[in-house]
Structure 1
Amino acid sequence: MSISIDAACFLLSDQNRCEQDEDFIFYGNPIARNGSVIHKELNTMDKEAILISFTNVPDHIMKIAFTVTIHEGEKLHHYMQDVNGLYLRLVNTDTGEELFRYEYGSDLTKETAIVVGELYRYNGEWKFNAIGSGFYGGLEALCNHHGLEIEQSISEVAAAAAVEEKVLTPIDLRKNIVQITLEKKNLIGVVARVGIVLDISGSMQSLYKKGVVQEVVERILAVACKFDDNGTLDVWVYDHLFSRLPSVTEEDFDQFVNKHIMNNDAIHKFGRNNEPPVMEDVIRKYTIEEDSGVPVFIIFINDGGVVKPTKKIIKESAIQPIFWQFVGIGYSDFEVLKELDTMEGRVVDNANFIHLSDMDSVSDEQLYDQLLNEFPSWIKSATTKRIIR
């Protein structure tokens, strides 16, 4: 089977976006406007190269993202699981010295594109970050991720994000990414109720106004669609008070945050944070009001300052069919949440913490991979202890 692999790079601004089409460097646009970046095909073991003159890279370009895609992957049913031997080398072309080598892709399945790594400016120097994140949807998914709308004239790229001749919507693309993640984590067939708890304390105000929280709800909804048999995401918000909101679905997620939170005078907003009351309401919903024994996966969004009595609630709920996935956003130290993995006195480890300083810069693939990292081990332990049935 012959599979065509194409390399490319995106020249990104400080907003982590490719601001114009000319900053997407690939076989159809091989040279940046000032010649600082050049895509080149080679007749060597290194099939393609991106040549960079760092002194000539414009000041507004803060990052260079390197990618590969399978040409017409979805159309031809060619996937990254069918490819081996992928690598990236950083080479000083003046001396021929190999500065870094990164082999990637062995953990991927039905993705058709990869963000391999990124060069980025840091304190006046260029640094490299190896990533290796797979995307479903080929070149179009990569372009959308980096802020570009793909043109019909670029090969048959539209077909790369199509299923049954229908272009996938953003929620459909995310559901496909979740599906791939579930396959990686051996979670296929697992049914779980999914809820999200959103911090709405004072420090979160700008994230609500900028639409970041709405985006978080949409990204987590894709998880609920794959786990929950009725595809609903249960929602809470809290500061020192809390509110249980209507559940969100694919049919009504648009403008959910503005409609049900920001424009809802009944919701208390932007006070101090106090986690235990809302956690107790989550427990009440799933163990008293709607007790089914089905596993519950709670994503708890917080930007710091978690009160210490939160640990007591987590310990007490270890006998309940609830897994708490805390997500710290921003730059707080998250002292309490960092202690979750070493917290003793629980029947099972029923909580995990991940820190994402900037949600906007985290791809869906990275987000779902981290969100679902410890859930499988909890499912196994909770089943053994007869906490879930």
Structure 2
Amino acid sequence: MLLTKGQKVDVTKGKALSNLRVQFGWSADDKLSIDASCFVLSGNNRCEKDEDFIFYGNPAALNGGVTHGQASGQDKEAISLCLSKIPESTARIAFSLTIHEGEKHGYYMQDVSNMYVKLIDADRGEELFRYEYGADLSKETAIVVGELYRHNGEWKFNTIGSGFFGGLASLCTNFGLVIEPEIEQEPVEVVKQPNLSSIDLRKKIVQITLEKKKMVNVAARVGLVLDISGSMQLLYKNGTVQEVVERILAVACQFDDNATLDVWIYDNEFSRLKAATERDFDQYVVKNIINNRDIHKFGRNNEPPVMKDVIRKYTEEEESNLPAFVIFINDGGVVKAIKKVIVESSLKPLFWQFVGIGESDFEVLKQLDTMEGRIVDNANFIHIKDIASISDEELYHQLLNEFPLWLKVATDQRVIRK
């Protein structure tokens, strides 16, 4: 079965599958040193110890549950998994491909062709799935190919194919590991691996997304509104909301000269929080939300009051020629009264990007495109069931899909002043 990018498939459901082999293949000049590897991740989407990174230098983990080795035939490398030995604490296993010192030598994923990964039933030698990827990559030096993850007691596979800059170091940083500097023997000096933080890496991915959408010179203020109603408790506690703040901050860093992300939270009340910046985003949610006793938390949802405060900030308190791009995270649908607020704000230089997460039907938000009474369509809705598992590349692609269209129409209609 040939898979496409973003596809999720059952691997073990309905099958007596005990041993799985993931085999990698590619074509490239011999000058390129290409390596396959994988990261064993906890529920926080992080490697909890160095040994959870499996590659040629650490070829086995989990008491033989995951092993790295060479493949036969046209395949280059393989990672074998004994599923019964993988502990319940393992939520997912991410598979990657990297070019060793690619940026140093000027080698990139655009120089590699025919990249694929195959999932094999190792006991029967049967190929279950095949995923071909990489046609949309250019200057990246690392790829998260896909991930094996638990779902309702079974294993599923998610095809990703997302590129990273910074090679192996960028992947390790993304999954919570630190690459120690290497030392050359002649002369004796420290050769530093790219020391890019996760926010730096995400800024690069945003930049690539903007280039693809021809938005490199766009300037805007960026706001983030976070649902903190009762159903969101787990996402605040397990670090998912902190990840959201960091991911959206990367957008603000590219749009806003001050590299500042304005933040609101709301349930049946709302609070305007301290802005997030690159200097203080670490532990932002814990410091400014979870440990903040002045914030009302985990009540019912009521969106219009916080939306009106967003409008007040950007159009009255801080009036500017710069438009505002407001990302609104919600996990349970919204009250119908938001329609009136959206219609009234259609004359303002403000775009609402609603993001629904979880399993709700989001009936009101699905009607945004057909909402009448607006001079311009000033709102968009996307539904991401599991925001923790979507790649940065795909998230930014979806977030920034409608905004450039609004910018053009709003400028033509003089909603945005030049």
Q: Does the TM-score normalized on the shorter chain lie above 0.5? A: yes
Shorter-chain TM range is: 0.7 to 0.9
1:70 has 2:99 as partner: yes
Counterpart contact for 1:74–1:161, Cα < 8 Å? no
> Given residue 173 of structure 1, which amino acid in structure 2 is its aligned partner?
L
Unaligned runs of 5+ in 1: none
1:233 has 2:261 as partner: yes
| Distance in 2, Cα, partners of 1:209 & 1:43 | 45
> Given residue 302 of structure 1, which amino acid in structure 2 is its aligned partner?
N
For residue 10 of structure 1, the aligned residue among 35, 39, 48 is 39
> Given residue 198 of structure 2, which amino acid in structure 1 is its aligned partner?
P
1:217 has 2:253 as partner: no
Unaligned runs of 5+ in 2: 1-28, 185-189
For residue 365 of structure 1, the aligned residue among 387, 393, 398 is 393
User: Which position in structure 1 is the counterpart of 2:10?
Assistant: none
User: Which position in structure 1 is the counterpart of 2:339?
Assistant: 311
Q: CA deviation at 1:246?
A: 3.7
Q: CA deviation at 1:58?
A: 5.0
Taking structure 1 as the reference length, the TM-score comes to 0.85
User: Which position in structure 1 is the counterpart of 2:166?
Assistant: 137
User: Which position in structure 2 is the counterpart of 1:349?
Assistant: 377
- Counterpart secondary structure, 2:312: helix
Percent same amino acid at aligned positions?
A: 68
After TM superposition, the structure 1 = structure 2 runs for residues 167-178 of structure 1, keeping only pairs within 5 Å, are: 167-178=195-206
User: Which position in structure 2 is the counterpart of 1:110?
Assistant: 139
- Counterpart secondary structure, 1:248: coil
| Distance in 2, Cα, partners of 1:210 & 1:91 | 33
Q: CA deviation at 1:172?
A: 2.2
User: Which position in structure 2 is the counterpart of 1:88?
Assistant: 117
- Counterpart secondary structure, 1:277: helix
- What's the C-alpha RMSD, in Å, of the aligned pairs? 3.1
Classify 1:235/1:22 alpha carbon distance in 2 versus 1 (closer, same or farther; 3 Å): closer
| Distance in 1, Cα, partners of 2:243 & 2:151 | 28
Classify 1:203/1:119 alpha carbon distance in 2 versus 1 (closer, same or farther; 3 Å): closer
After TM superposition, the structure 1 = structure 2 runs for residues 1-389 of structure 1, keeping only pairs within 5 Å, are: 2-32=31-61, 34-42=63-71, 44-54=73-83, 57=86, 60-93=89-122, 97-123=126-152, 125-152=154-181, 162=194, 167-262=195-290, 264=292, 266-388=294-416, 389=418
| Distance in 2, Cα, partners of 1:126 & 1:254 | 32
* Cα shift readout 1:298-337 (whole Å, capped 9, x = no counterpart): 0112222411111222233223221111122344332222
Counterpart contact for 1:13–1:63, Cα < 8 Å? yes
Classify 1:261/1:81 alpha carbon distance in 2 versus 1 (closer, same or farther; 3 Å): same
- Counterpart secondary structure, 1:251: coil
Larger relative helix fraction: 1
Report how many residues are paired: 383
